[in-house]
Amino acid sequence: MMIKKRALKNPPFQYLDHPADAKFQAFGETFEEAFAHAALAVVSLMWEPEKIIKRQRRTVLVQGKDLEQLLFKFLSEILYLYEAKGFLLASARDLKIIKHENGYSLEAVLEGDNLSSNYTIFGEVKAITYHDMIIRKNDEVLIQVVVDM
């Protein structure tokens, strides 16, 4: 993993069994770290992010009325950048989540490369869903997402 290994109790993310689609949990000390790990969990269903050269940088800004919508939109953005712009994510860094009066905003720098025949794409995530979505902070942050494949 490209992610800095810290003393997390859990791995950055792990897949759980779901009969039709894919379900994962991502962990982090902060919401920001867990969101970044969730992004890696999504793209790891399609390519190996550690194999993507960090040649391109993109800044994204999304807003959500609650943390769930913020996560839904952040992860949907990564799918959009892949399909519309051919951008393969290697990692998400410098995440900043800010709480506003009417919800949240998230800013992040995405590093990766343009789609080319150098890379193997082995799967397709169609969309992010809210089904069984969990975002919880106890001693660390847990995120759970089901994606449509």
Answer for which of 2, 60, 76, 93 binds another protein (CB under 8 A) is: 76
Residue 140 is a binding residue for another protein (CB under 8 A): no
* Count of chain residues binding another protein (CB under 8 A): 38
Q: Which is nearer to another protein, 29 or 63 (CB)?
A: 63
Q: Which residues contact 19 (CB under 8 A, 6 or more apart)?
A: none
- Residue found by looking up tokens 């800010």 in the block: 98
Answer for which of 1, 11, 16, 51 binds another protein (CB under 8 A) is: 16
In whole angstroms, give the CA distance from residue 142 to residue 121. Answer: 28
Separation in Å, CA 82 to CA 50, 60, 70, 121: 16, 13, 19, 11
Residue 55 is a binding residue for another protein (CB under 8 A): no
Beta bridge partners of 98: 105
Residue 134 is a binding residue for another protein (CB under 8 A): no
Contact set with another protein (CB under 8 A): 15-23, 65, 68-69, 72-73, 76, 79-80, 83-86, 115, 120-124, 126-133, 146, 148-149
